[in-house]
Structure 1
Amino acid sequence: MDDIDDFDLPRPRWDHHRIAILGGSAEDELTIAGGYLDVADLAAERFFAQPNDGLPIPILYLYRHSIELTLKWLIKLAARCALRDGYQGPENLSAERVAERLSKTHNIKKLADCYNRYLQHLTSMDSENTIDLKTLESLKWLDSEDETGQAYRYSLIGRDGTPARPVQENIDFYEQANRLHRLAHLLQDGYTSHLADYEAYQRDMSWY
């Protein structure tokens, strides 16, 4: 058998490129979601330059997981903003209760519906408090492709080992990957910035 060193990754050009920083106060679902998105984009570019049919499912999973984590980050932030706006409705929006609910689902549609519901509680937001229809349509499509978060992770899903893709098919992977690429970037760069700006506005107003 060949020496195991033959399987090493290429060495970085600079020694400081060997170091990665993990954890700490700067690490949250949004930063990790951004990492999944970056890796998905890099892998997709690699596929289109040099197709390899082992890559599409992991790429779809990376995009989907980025979207799931971003939605969970948005939901937590929306809940905090709603409480700061004085929400006193029937739903418990405490950080602990929201985190508990989110830990029990990977369903994109449920997460999108939850985020939309929480947006309705933001009383000072000047723009429409809802996910735009085109984005919502893409989120529902993604949910229909992988409702549980397992179809893009495994070949067999569920306790009975049902094939995730029982019939071989040729898909327009360029179109599908681009749809998820656009959706993930819109959530990561657009929706998060908008809601973070709203929270900054709330904090500014609290000084008056």
Structure 2
Amino acid sequence: MSHRGLIQRWGSRSDSRLSYEFFESAKRLAATHVGEPGDDVILLPIMLLYRFAIELSLKESIHYAALLRRRNKDSDPSLETHAVSERLERKHRHSIGALVHELNTHMTALDLQVIPKDTGRILQMLAEADATGEAFRYTGKLAETYDNIDFPSLNAALDETYGITAASHDVLEAYGSAQDEYLEVEREIDAEMRAEYESNYKSEMGGW
């Protein structure tokens, strides 16, 4: 049996898709937990995978929310694609707190529900534990303490937090679909009005 085609990669996948892939990887690794001492080695890798999944999900939702605001004719220059990309890459970078704040700002502007407070508290704790996105990937970035952790509860909280965060994108997609329908109706009305105007003009002027 050939193993060459058992895993495939698509170069065109979005950050939303990549976010889901990190989330699935975290879940699979977490599923190996059996309550034995050897499980200690999976804690930080799992935290890193969940954290990056959440970060990518937030960034993808921010990009999409800014697009929806532009389509609503919001002329704020900070909503332009290059401005959003620049802000995420150079200003917010890996800051969960800054990303949550910006996404909530967009959701409020679109009159959509912001991230729930309970989820916000988990995200805040994650941001405080790893402000720069490096605490779970390099040594010396966390406090030099000894901790006992209720892993099942931690994993459940992270799993739910990712789910709620990703749901923001689902809400935005539903808004986008409704917006598409509205814009299509608006285009049809504009076309009808233009056709009526041209018809009346030609009738009154005897042609063009």
Q: Is the 8 A contact 2:115 2:165 kept in 1?
A: no
Counterpart AA for 2:118: K
Alpha-carbon distance in structure 2 between the residues aligned to 1:102 and 1:68: 11
Counterpart AA for 1:96: H
CA displacement, residues 91-137 of structure 1 (integer Å, 9 cap, x when unaligned) = 51111110111112101010000101112221xx4xx4422211211
1:99 counterpart = 2:76: no
Larger Rg: 2
1:61 counterpart = 2:48: yes
Aligned to 2:109: 121
Q: 4+ residue runs of structure 1 moved beyond 4 angstroms?
A: 13-17
Q: Is the 8 A contact 2:67 2:79 kept in 1?
A: yes
Offset of residue 142 of structure 1: 1.1
Say which of 111, 114, 133 aligns to 1:149. Answer: 133
Aligned to 1:32: 18
Alpha-carbon distance in structure 2 between the residues aligned to 1:118 and 1:206: 20
Moved more, 39-48 or 131-140: 131-140
Counterpart AA for 1:183: T
TM-score normalised by length of structure 1:
0.81
Q: Is the 8 A contact 1:60 1:152 kept in 2?
A: yes
Alpha-carbon distance in structure 1 between the residues aligned to 2:88 and 2:100: 12
Offset of residue 186 of structure 1: 2.0
1:18 counterpart = 2:9: no
TM-score normalised by length of structure 2:
0.81
Alpha-carbon distance in structure 2 between the residues aligned to 1:35 and 1:48: 23
What is the alpha-carbon root mean square deviation over aligned residues?
Answer: 1.8
Identity of aligned residues (%): 26
Unaligned runs of 5+ in 2: 186-208
Aligned to 1:72: 59
Q: Which has the higher contact order (CA 8 A, sep 6+)?
A: 1
1:173 counterpart = 2:151: yes
Aligned to 2:183: 206
Alpha-carbon distance in structure 1 between the residues aligned to 2:29 and 2:56: 19
Alpha-carbon distance in structure 2 between the residues aligned to 1:109 and 1:156: 22
CA displacement, residues 129-181 of structure 1 (integer Å, 9 cap, x when unaligned) = 42221121121111111111111111124xxxxxx231122121221121111
Aligned to 2:120: 136
